[in-house]
Chains A and B, each alone.
Chain A
Amino acid sequence: MSDRDTIDLLAAVPLFEGRSEADLAELARVMRRRTVRAGDTLWRQGDHPRELALIADGTVAASVHVTGSGAAEIGRSGRGEIVGLIGVLDGAGHATSVRVTEAATVLALGRQDFAALLAGQDPSAFRLRRHLTTLLAARLRSQLEYLAVSLGGASSGPPAGDAGAVCDELEDTRAPDSRYVRRMATFHDFDPLALWGFLTSGRYVRCPPGRTLLAEGAPSPAYYLTINGAVEKVLVRDDRRIRVGLAGPGKAFGYEGLVDGRPSPVTAITRERVLLLVVPRDLFARLFHGEDAVSRGFLDVIQNDLMATLRETLRPCARLAASR
C-alpha cells in the first residue's frame, strides 16, 4: 500500500472529510500500517485503549463478552471503517474485542495522536468533532434499531400534532445555581465563560414525572439537558419496553435527531420531576456549527453522552446476539 493509496483511503473516510491534502499526508505519516492474519486479535474488550484502527482491507469482527455465554459477535467492519473509537475517546477500556476474520491491513492511530487532532481550535478540529458526533449518532441508531427489532411489533409512531407543542407547554423557571452546575462532572472541563455561554443558551423548564417529552419517530424540537431529576430513554413496542438510558443531572437527550436530521430514535419520559435546560433547534444548530469555546464544550457534552449510551446499549445488543 503506497502513501498515495493511504491518502486516498483517508480522503474517503467520512470522519476525515474536508481535510486538506497536506493534513491527510500528515495523518498518513503518523498512522502505523500493520498487516494482520485471519484469527489474530487486535485487542480484547477492556484492554487499555492505545489506538484505534482504520481498516484498509480485509475484515474484522467486534464481539462483546456475555456473562455465562462467552463472546457474542455484534458486527463486522471492512475497508474504510474505523474500530476502537469509543475506548480511544473515553479512555475507559476498549468497548469490544476485535478479531481479524479475513487477513487485513489496518492503519493504527495512537490515542494521543487522535486527541491532538481533536484538541486544535482550527476549523478542521471542529469539523472532526462534528463528524465524530455524527458517526457516533449513526452507530447509536444502528444499535437502537437492533434492540427495537427484538421487541417485535411496531413503534406506535409519533403522536399527532406539533412536536414542539410539548416543549412549549413546559413551565418556565429560573436558571439553577451555577455553583451546583459547576460541580457536575459534565462541566468540569468547561472554562467559566464557556459554561456561562452554554447555560444561557436556552430556557429552563420544570416538568412533573411520567410526562413524555419526546416520542420515538417524532422530530426532536430541542436539545434537552437534565439539571435536576431524571428522564428515561426507552424503546416501546406495544406493552413491552426497554430502557436504553437514564438522563440524570448533566446528561442530555433529544439531540440525535438534531445531529442527523432524522426522527428521534427513542422515547423520552420523565421518571422524576425534572428541571431541564432546553436548547431549541435553531440555537442547537448555532452551537453545533459554531467554532468557539462554547461550541467546543457543547460538542464535548454530546459526544460524552453518545459514548456512554453506546456503551450502555452494547451489553443488551450482545446478549441479544448471543441468544440468536
Chain B
Amino acid sequence: MCRILAYLGEPLPVQHLLFDTDNSLVRQSYSPRLMNTFLNLAGFGMKAWDPTSLRPDDPFTYRATALPSFDRNLRFISSKVASTCLVAHVRGVTYSGDAVVADTNLHPFHFAGARVVLAHNGHLRQFSSMRYALLDHVRPELAQRIEGTTDSEWIYALILSQLEDPYGLPETRELAEAIAGALRILRDVRAAHAIDTSSPVNLCVSTGRSVVATRVSFDYGWYPPDDEMLETDLPFVSLWYAIGGEYAEDDGGWRMTAGEPPRSVIIASEPLTADFSSWLEVPEYSMLTAELTPAGLAFETRDLDV
C-alpha cells in the first residue's frame, strides 16, 4: 500500500506539497494519518512539469529508494522547482521477504518517450496468477519495457495499450476512457481466474496538462483468510482533493484559496494538512478528471462502474 499525490494548476514550489505541510506527502511515508498499521518506506518518486524549464513537456524526474524524509537531494530539488503539474508517490510494501524494494519498482511509471505517467495506491491481490493473462491486452512493444515486479507497472502498460498512440499526447477524455477500459480488462481477467478478493486501484495518471484519478476497488470488502493487509484494506482506500485558486499558507495553515473558476487542484491519498476541513473526499467508485484550459481548470467527477 502506498500514498499518492497529484497537483495541477498555478506554478507551485514542489516543497510545499512534499515537505511544508503538517501531513505532507513525505510525512505520510513515516506517519500516515489514515493508515493504522502500515508505513510507506519503500521509496519515493515524482514527475514534475515546469513550463519554464528546458523541454517543458518532459517532467523533472526524481526517484530513490532512500527514505525521502532524510533525502537532502530531494529537499534541494523540491525547493527549486515550481511545478504546474506534479505526480508523486511514496511506496509501501508488505513486511515480508517477498517484497522487492528496487528502483525499477518506484512510481510514477513512465516509459521513455511516452507522455503519460502513472502512480498507484493499492494492489491487485493474487496478481501473480493473472499477470501473464494480461499479455493478451498489452501491446508487445510495451510489455517488453516492463522492468519491475509490481502490478502497477502492468496497469500502466495496460492503460497505454488502450490509447490510440501510446506515445502521443492523449486528450483528457481519451485518457479517461483508456483508464476505464483498462480497469474493465482487469475485472474480466480477474473473473476468468476466479480472483474475487478486495483489490484497490487508486490511480493518478497525468500528461502534465491533465490529471485523471480513480478511487475504485474490485470486490471491495472480501479478503482471503489471515490476510496481512486486512486492517489497511478494511476501509475503502482513501483519496481526497482540494480545489480552488492556489495552495497557499495563510495564518499559519495551508489552504486552497477561493477561486471561481478554479485554477488549481490537489488530489492525494490523505489531506496534506491535519485539518481536513478544506478537503473533500473523492467518492468511492469514481473518477476525477482535471485539465488546464485557457479559462481555468476544467474539473469533473463521475461514477466509475467497473
Contacts and interface: CB of A to CB of B under 8 A. Distances in A.
Interface in A95-112: none
A37 B243 CA distance: 34
- Name the interface size band of chain B: 20 to 34
A68 B262 contact: yes
B225 A180 contact: yes
B263 to A, nearest CB: 10
Given A45-B277, A46-B276, A69-B258, A229 B234 contact: no
Interface in B198-235: 219-223, 225-226, 230-231, 234-235
Contacts of B236: 230, 246, 248
Contact of A274 (B221, B230, B242, B256): B221
Contacts of B258: 68-70
B136 interface: no
A228 B245 CA distance: 41
A226 B143 CA distance: 40
A45 B274 CA distance: 12
Nearest to A68: B244
Instruction: Give the residue among A70, A243, A249, A312 with the most B Cβ atoms within 10 A.
Output: A249
B284 A67 contact: no
A58 interface: no
Interface of B: 36, 219-223, 225-226, 230-231, 234-236, 242-245, 256-260, 262, 274-281, 283-285
B219 A272 contact: yes
- Mostly, the A contact residues are loop
20 contacts: A46-B277, A64-B277, A65-B277, A67-B256, A67-B278, A67-B279, A68-B257, A68-B259, A68-B260, A93-B276, A180-B223, A180-B230, A184-B234, A229-B222, A230-B220, A246-B284, A248-B220, A272-B220, A273-B222, A274-B221
A67 B244 contact: yes
A68 B245 contact: yes
A238 interface: no
Interface string A24-46: 00000000000000000000011
Given A70-B258, A185-B234, A315 B222 contact: no
A243 B221 contact: no
A183 B231 contact: yes
A248 B277 contact: no
B235 A248 contact: yes
B141 to A, nearest CB: 36
A271 interface: yes
Interface string A44-65: 0110000000000000000011
Contacts of B280: 67, 315
A46 B221 CA distance: 30
Contacts of A64: 277
A84 interface: no
A265 interface: no
Leading 5 A-B pairs by shortest Cβ distance: A68-B244, A46-B275, A229-B221, A65-B277, A45-B277
B243 A68 contact: yes
Contacts of B242: 67
B268 to A, nearest CB: 13
Contact of A177 (B225, B245, B260, B277): B225
Nearest to A44: B277
A250 interface: yes
A65 B278 contact: yes
A273 B221 CA distance: 9
A58 B65 CA distance: 58
Contacts of A315: 280-281
Contacts of B262: 68
A67 B267 CA distance: 13
Instruction: Give the residue among A243, A271, A272 with the most B Cβ atoms within 10 A.
Output: A272
B88 to A, nearest CB: 21
Given A65-B277, A67-B256, A185-B36, 4 more contacts: A248-B221, A271-B220, A272-B221, A272-B222
Contacts of B220: 229-230, 248, 271-272
Nearest to A227: B221
A67 B226 CA distance: 41
Interface string A257-296: 0000000000000011110000000000000000000000
